[in-house]
Amino acid sequence: MSAPILIVDDDPTFNSILVRTLGRRGLPAIGAHDGDDALQLARQHGVERLVLDLNLAGISGLQLIPELLAINPAMRIVVLTGYGSIATAVEAVKRGATQYLTKPVDIETILGAFTDDITNDALLTPEEPLSVDRMEWEHIQRVLTENDGNISATARALKMHRRTLQRKLAKHPVRS
């Protein structure tokens, strides 16, 4: 029997649905809700494929990538997020992620990401210039990534009140 696919997402409903969906397809899967559980399960089960949420209860999933790859350098990591940005996509790939996907996403796309059967649209240059709102979102995400997800440090770097930054981050990004 092959190693299970590890799903790391702090949303228990999404986590269990994805684990069950993979199981119905005959693919063994297990779920973890935080970084510590993810590292323990990756070691314990010899995980080779992993779906990693970008935001784990306020902590950046990007911080886990090097630790997971230290357990198994050949591990294929697909980063999944509801708040995609070019900055975090680039950072995820730099840290060793195989693919970066934005929710909502179907199971075929996730499985394809493990085999490089899809292109990463998040990393492609847009044909039209970004809107001002989208440029602001991308800039905030880049600075947030530079500060390892620390909201206070990011607010200081942007010369913005912390609560204002939190309100901006709570909104879904504009599409263009």
**Average pLDDT of the segment spanning 130-158:** 79
13-to-25, 50, 77, 83, 164 alpha-carbon distances in Å: 19, 17, 21, 18, 30
Determine the pLDDT at residue 33. 92
Task: Give the span between the Cα atoms of 148 and 2, in whole angstroms.
Answer: 34
pLDDT digits (tens, 9 = 90+) for 40-94: 999 999 999 999 998 887 778 888 999 999 999 999 999 988 777 788 888 889 9
Q: Is the dihedral of CA 91, 92, 98, 99 positive or negative?
A: negative
Q: What is the CATH number of the domain that holds 147?
A: 1.10.10.60
Tell whether the model's pLDDT for residue 118 goes beyond 50.
Answer: no
Please indicate whether residue 129 or residue 142 has the higher confidence score (pLDDT). 142
Output the pLDDT for position 175.
58
117 and 137 together in one domain: no
Residue 137 has pLDDT above 90, yes or no: no
pLDDT above 90 covers a percentage of the chain that reads 34
pLDDT confidence of 139, banded at 50, 70, 90? confident
Q: Is residue 175 part of a domain?
A: no
Do 67 and 13 lie in a common domain? yes
CATH of the domain at 90: 3.40.50.2300
Instruction: Specify whether 88 is located in the same domain as 165.
Output: no
DSSP 56-124: ETTEEGGGHHHHHHHH-TT-EEEEEESS--HHHHHHHHHHT-SEEEESS--HHHHHHHHTT-S--GGGS
Q: Is residue 114 located within the same domain as residue 137? A: no
Q: Would you say residue 176 lies in a domain?
A: no
The yes-or-no verdict on residue 117 having pLDDT over 90 is: no
Q: How far apart are CA 25 and CA 132, in angstroms?
A: 43
Tokens found for residue 48 = 């080779």
Which residue segment(s) compose the domain that 77 sits in?
Answer: 5-123
Residues 75 and 155 in one domain: no
**pTM for the full model?**
0.68
How does the average pLDDT of the chain come out, rounded?
Answer: 83
DSSP designation for 51? E
My answer on whether 34 and 103 are in the same domain is: yes
pLDDT band at 129 (very low <50, low <70, confident <90, very high): low
Q: What confidence category does residue 174 fall into, taking pLDDT thresholds of 50, 70 and 90?
A: low
Total domain count, the chain = 2
Burial (CB count within 10 angstroms: exposed 0-12, middle 13-18, buried 19+), residue 44: exposed
- Same-domain pairing of 119 and 139: no
Domain shared by 65 and 88, yes or no: yes
Q: Is the pLDDT of residue 20 over 50?
A: yes
